[in-house]
């Protein structure tokens, strides 16, 4: 069994943002030499998300509006977590969007449907954050 590990780094200029990381994950699979296996991609920070959805800017605007409705950032003092911090909403938003994606590796490629793309979802940006890519297989 082969295994592979890499960290991806992000430092986004806005509090919230979406970054398509599909090609970076495929590059990891290439480097790993794994032809058949599983790839785990997870946020290492608990105010961020990794998920699969559509690479369409209108939808990303819908995510922003929808998540702000379900778990609004402000007022900050509506959350007990925000005594010394202001990011409780980010911890909640990431529960809806998810921490991780597990995807199949088949014949050395991400085994995806036509429109599947992997995104890093940032909910508390303006500082360095990390994503872990772990691959196991043969």
Residues that bind a copy of itself (CB under 8 A): 1, 3, 5, 36-38, 40, 42-46, 51-54, 56-59, 61-63, 66, 70-71, 79-83, 88, 91-92, 94-104, 106, 111-116, 130, 132, 134, 136-138
Q: Which residue has the tokens 């200029």?
A: 13
30/66 with CB nearer a copy of itself: 66
Comparison of 1 and 14: residue with beta carbon closer to a copy of itself: 1
At closest approach, how far in Å is the CB of 13 from a copy of itself?
21
User: What stretch of H or E contains 137?
Assistant: strand 129-137
The minimum distance between CB 30 and a copy of itself, in angstroms, equals 18
Q: How far apart are CA 95 and CA 111, in angstroms?
A: 25
CB contact burial 114-129 (16+ within 10 A = b; e otherwise) = eeebbbbbbbbbeeeb
Question: What does each C-alpha distance from 30 to 1, 52, 108, 110 come to in angstroms?
Answer: 16, 20, 7, 10
| CB-nearer residue toward a copy of itself: 23 or 66 | 66
Bin 73: left if φ > 0, else alpha if -120 < ψ < 50, else beta: alpha
Based on CB atoms, which residue is closest to a copy of itself, 15 or 52?
52
Q: How far is the CB of 112 from a copy of itself (least distance, A)?
A: 7
Length reported for the chain: 138
Nearer to a copy of itself, 27 or 82 (CB): 82
Smallest distance from the beta carbon of 10 to a copy of itself, in angstroms? 12
Neighbours of 88 (CB within 10 A): 20
């Amino acid at each position: 069994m082969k295994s592979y590990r890499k960290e991806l780094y992000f430092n986004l200029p806005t509090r919230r943002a979406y970054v398509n990381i599909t090609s970076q994950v495929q590059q990891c699979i290439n480097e790993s030499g794994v032809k058949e296996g599983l790839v785990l991609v997870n946020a290492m920070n608990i105010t961020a998300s990794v998920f699969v959805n559509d690479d369409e800017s209108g939808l990303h605007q819908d995510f922003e509006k929808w998540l702000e409705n379900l778990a609004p950032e402000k007022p900050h003092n509506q959350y007990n977590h925000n005594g010394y911090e202001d990011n409780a909403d980010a911890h909640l938003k990431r529960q809806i969007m998810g921490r991780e994606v597990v995807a199949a590796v088949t014949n050395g490629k991400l085994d995806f449907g036509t429109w599947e793309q992997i995104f890093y979802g940032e909910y508390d940006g303006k500082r360095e954050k990390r994503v872990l890519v772990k691959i196991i297989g043969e």
